[in-house]
């Protein structure tokens, strides 16, 4: 049985499909002959054109889930479709907050396994081989699913490139959310957006990140200043996010953002595997750390053994002097 | 207020690489420790039970060889008792099979609230707790960075791409917590002594009424065919700062035409 139909969870943010969903649609076209998208929220109609531009022939529109936390109702709608006989061979889900919730729910509703942290997918005959991280990304496992389909994969951001493939406007099919009782009682009361100026962390060409080696929250300002001078974005290790120095939206790594900029500058970051997994795809890496044995140096193209609180201010001064 | 905290006992991450060359699954033999990710959940559970003015924290863990060393750490922090599921048939269980076992064990404690970590340190599938919630028919709120309770409702600040959402949910519910939600306490000497005599209910798959063919290697529908080291980057030039290393960075920026 070959791979025919591939579904992609097309999550929408700010009126557009999130970039990981577009990456997955591109991969889906290579994997199967029919690519369909499942989407929800008030803006699905607005994104249908964009989805068609990525080769989608049908959009399943779950509609506006209102203030419900989406994981359970979206999974229930998809499970309903599958149980009614509309069964894809593969279901691709982006590694996002809601994507992971949908995946966990869907897996239990369909009683089918799910593979998470996927960074590679290949069709071999009528099987799919996946690659996923273990031990914080230090190891990569190749796996294959067998048995009943759909095979569900939760894929990390930037594992594949997004390429459009213009086609006809997709057909839109609306899908009901079945009544799932108590499961669907988590409600979003309010949303808080932490302001960030400059380019977005996961899209910036330069990312400057700070870690515990900065020595204090007040020193993070120089990370932001350096990022600004290089027209980049400021990132962080989890240690300083947990310590409350910077908001979570700055976190790079396994539980934070995946970045692949032209240049990544790590300042006072040790280079734990869970941090590396989010940034080692950067084209160039510079690290500043006072410990010459810090693991971050093993991935750095240029390593500076020194005190961040001395090197970074001088770097900022030199950049300013150049104008 | 009965709180269940799911705690995974894992090989010490400081000594990783324990993969069975035959089955390509993570080997979990020898002394295991409490997954650091779950220490936050234990602390959160203890604080919420204290604030509710009564009730207790029950730990639930699935681990091989009746391993209890990680559980003892969490009991020493203040949890009242533990349920441990241990069975040879569970070896090689995937996340969904693990969730089936945990759900059955959790049911026994009839909790108002179930806490787990957003993801474990070794396997980090991050799906187990949501699968547990679905199997228990409960709502779930993941990625909590702040948790409080009032009138049978749990209030959560949930991390999002751009900031956080305020989410509410009636109990019973499953909540997954991130590191940083609370600062875990260190077990006191008194706590460590007391933990030795706290009850650990040891159960097998058949005690839970689960068909052994549906869990472990037998029930796994995914096969890991190969495990390799992640693609390594090679280290480049390293300079020791003697007051002018920033110039090396400037030259590097020039080469990249970023300045
Ligand atoms: C399940 C799980 C998920 C995780 N997810 C993430 C994640 O998404 N992102 C992430 O980053 N981490 C993550 N972690 C945490 C990770 O394991 C590390 O604990 C964390 O990355 C360490 O942050 P750090 O490098 O800032 O701090 P540390 O490890 O404390 O390193 C500080 C570094 O600064 C150096 N230093 C100290 N003073 C100076 C100075 N004056 N000048 C220069 N250098 C100095 C030190 O030599 C040291 O190398 C996760 C962990 C787990 C278990
Ligand atoms: N074997 C287990 N025993 C107890 N809790 C577990 C187990 N596996 C997973 N969990 C819980 O689920 C969380 C997420 O695990 P994972 O799905 O492996 O990322 C863990 O941090 C635990 O709280």
Give the closest of A191, A263, A297 to B238, CB-based.
A297
- Please, which pLDDT band fits residue B29 given cuts at 50, 70 and 90? low
For ligand 1, which residues put their CB under 6 angstroms from it?
Answer: A 211-213, 215, 237-240, 251-256, 268-270, 272, 274-275, 278, 288-291, 294, 307-309; B 36-37, 119, 121, 124
Preceding omega of B172 cis (within 30 degrees of 0): yes
Say what percent of chain B tops pLDDT 70.
Answer: 94
Domain A5-184 matches domain A206-322 at the CATH topology level: yes
Model pLDDT, residue B108: 96
Asked if B240 lies within 8 A of A306 by C-beta distance, the reply is yes
| Residue B161, pLDDT above cutoff 90 | no
| Residue A278, pLDDT above cutoff 90 | yes
Provide mean pLDDT across the span B23-47.
84
Of B1, B227, B18, nearest in space to B114 by CA = B1
Give the closest of A69, A103, A265 to B167, CB-based.
A69
Residue of A249, A271, A274, A308 with the most ligand 1 atoms within 8 Å of its CB, for mutation: A274
What angle separates helix B128-136 from helix A97-110, to the nearest 10 degrees?
50
Q: Give the tens place of pLDDT for each residue, A5-56.
A: 999 999 999 999 999 999 999 999 999 999 999 999 999 999 999 999 999 9
Model pLDDT, residue B135: 98
Instruction: Give A148's contacts in chain B (Cβ within 8 Å).
Output: 221
- Give the three-class secondary structure for B64: helix
Model pLDDT, residue B54: 85
Domain positions in chain B: 2-219
Asked if A190 lies within 8 A of B95 by C-beta distance, the reply is no
Q: Give the tens place of pLDDT for each residue, A81-114.
A: 999 999 999 999 999 999 999 999 999 999 999 9
Mean pLDDT rounded to a whole number for chain A: 95
Model pLDDT, residue B24: 65
Q: Give the tens place of pLDDT for each residue, A142-196.
A: 998 888 999 999 999 999 999 999 988 999 999 999 999 999 999 999 999 987 7
Distance from CA of residue A205 to its chain's centroid? 17
Class of domain A206-322: alpha beta
- Please, which pLDDT band fits residue A133 given cuts at 50, 70 and 90? confident
**A281 part of contact set with chain B, CB < 8 Å:** no
- Helix H segments across chain A? 19-31, 44-52, 71-83, 97-110, 220-229, 238-242, 273-276, 308-322
Let me know: does A122 contact A128? Beta carbons within 8 Å: yes
How many Å lie between the centroid of ligand 2 and the Cα of residue B60?
10
Instruction: Give B158's contacts in chain A (Cβ within 8 Å).
Output: 69, 97
Instruction: Give A280's contacts in chain B (Cβ within 8 Å).
Output: 233
- Homologous superfamily (CATH) of B2-219 is HUPs (3.40.50.620)
**A314 part of contact set with chain B, CB < 8 Å:** yes
Asked if B241 lies within 8 A of A111 by C-beta distance, the reply is no
**A182 part of contact set with chain B, CB < 8 Å:** yes
Chain A nearest-CA residue for B235: A298
Asked if B238 lies within 8 A of A292 by C-beta distance, the reply is yes
Architecture of the domain defined by A5-184: 3-Layer(aba) Sandwich (3.40)
Mean pLDDT rounded to a whole number for chain B: 92
What angle separates helix A308-322 from helix A220-229, to the nearest 10 degrees?
30
Q: Give the tens place of pLDDT for each residue, B191-248.
A: 999 999 999 999 999 999 999 998 998 888 888 888 888 888 888 999 999 999 999 9
Widest distance between CA atoms in chain A: 67
| Residue B28, pLDDT above cutoff 80 | no
Model pLDDT, residue B149: 96
Domain positions in chain A: 5-184, 206-322
- pTM of the predicted model as reported, rounded to 2 decimal places: 0.93
The half-sphere exposure of A311 on its side-chain side, counting CA atoms within 13 A, is: 27
Model pLDDT, residue B17: 53
Q: Give the tens place of pLDDT for each residue, A232-265.
A: 999 999 999 999 999 999 999 998 999 999 999 9
Let me know: does A34 contact A4? Beta carbons within 8 Å: yes
Instruction: Give B230's contacts in chain A (Cβ within 8 Å).
Output: 133, 137-140, 277
| Residue B41, pLDDT above cutoff 70 | yes
DSSP 8-state code for residue B212:
G
The ligand whose atoms approach the alpha carbon of B120 most closely is 2
DSSP secondary structure string for all residues of A146-208? -SSS-EEEEE-TTSS-------SPPEEEE------GGGG--EEEEEEE----SS-TTT-SEEE
């Amino acid at each position: 049985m070959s791979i025919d139909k591939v579904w992609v969870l097309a999550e929408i943010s700010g009126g557009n499909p999130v970039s990981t969903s577009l990456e997955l649609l591109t991969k889906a076209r290579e994997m199967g002959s029919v690519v369909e998208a499942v989407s929800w929220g008030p803006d699905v109609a607005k994104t249908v054109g964009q989805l068609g531009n990525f080769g989608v022939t049908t959009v399943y529109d779950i509609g506006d889930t209102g203030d419900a936390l989406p994981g359970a109702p979206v999974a229930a709608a998809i499970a309903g479709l599958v149980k009614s006989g509309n069964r894809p061979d593969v279901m691709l889900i982006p590694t996002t907050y809601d994507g992971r919730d949908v995946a966990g729910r869907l897996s239990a509703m369909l009683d089918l396994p799910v593979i998470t942290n996927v960074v590679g997918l290949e069709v071999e005959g009528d099987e799919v081989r996946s690659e996923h991280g273990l031990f914080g990304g230090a190891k990569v496992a190749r796996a294959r699913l067998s048995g009943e389909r759909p095979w569900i994969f939760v894929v990390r951001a930037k594992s594949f490139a997004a390429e459009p493939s213009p086609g006809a406007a997709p057909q839109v099919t609306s899908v009901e959310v079945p009544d799932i009782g108590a499961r669907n009682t988590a409600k979003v009361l309010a949303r808080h957006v932490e302001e960030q100026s400059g380019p977005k962390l996961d899209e910036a060409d330069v990312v400057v990140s700070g870690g515990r080696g900065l020595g204090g929250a007040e020193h993070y300002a120089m990370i932001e200043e350096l990022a600004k001078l290089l027209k980049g974005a400021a990132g962080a290790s989890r240690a300083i996010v947990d310590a409350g120095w910077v908001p979570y939206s700055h976190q790079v790594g396994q539980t934070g953002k995946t970045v692949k900029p032209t240049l990544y500058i790590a300042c006072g970051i040790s280079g734990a595997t869970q941090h590396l997994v989010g940034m080692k795809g950067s084209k160039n890496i510079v690290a500043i750390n006072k410990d010459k044995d810090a693991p971050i140096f093993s991935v750095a193209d240029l390593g500076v053994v020194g005190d961040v609180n001395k090197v970074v201010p001088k770097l900022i001064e030199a950049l300013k002097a150049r104008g | 207020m009965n709180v269940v905290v799911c705690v995974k006992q894992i090989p010490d991450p400081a000594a990783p690489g324990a993969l069975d060359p035959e089955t390509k699954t993570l080997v979990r033999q020898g002394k295991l420790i409490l997954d650091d990710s779950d220490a936050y959940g234990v602390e959160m559970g203890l604080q919420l039970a204290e604030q509710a003015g009564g009730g207790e924290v029950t730990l639930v863990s699935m681990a091989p060889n009746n391993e209890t060393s990680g559980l003892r750490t969490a009991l020493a922090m203040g949890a009242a008792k533990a349920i441990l599921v241990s069975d040879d048939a569970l070896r090689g269980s995937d996340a969904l099979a693990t969730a089936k076992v945990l759900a059955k064990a959790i049911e026994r404690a009839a909790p108002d609230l179930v806490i787990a970590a957003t993801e474990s340190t070794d396997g980090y599938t991050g799906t187990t707790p949501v699968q547990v919630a679905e199997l228990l028919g409960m709502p779930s709120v993941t990625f909590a960075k702040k948790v409080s309770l009032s009138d049978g409702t749990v209030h959560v600040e949930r991390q999002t791409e751009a900031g956080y959402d305020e989410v509410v949910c009636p109990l019973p519910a499953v909540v997954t917590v991130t590191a940083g939600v609370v600062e875990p306490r260190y077990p006191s000497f008194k706590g460590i002594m007391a933990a030795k005599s706290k009850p650990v209910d040891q159960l097998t798959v058949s005690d839970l009424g689960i068909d052994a063919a549906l869990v472990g290697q037998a029930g796994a529908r995914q096969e890991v065919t190969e495990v390799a080291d992640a693609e390594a980057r090679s280290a480049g030039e390293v300079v020791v700062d003697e007051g002018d290393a920033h110039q090396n960075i400037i030259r590097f920026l020039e080469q990249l035409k970023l300045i």
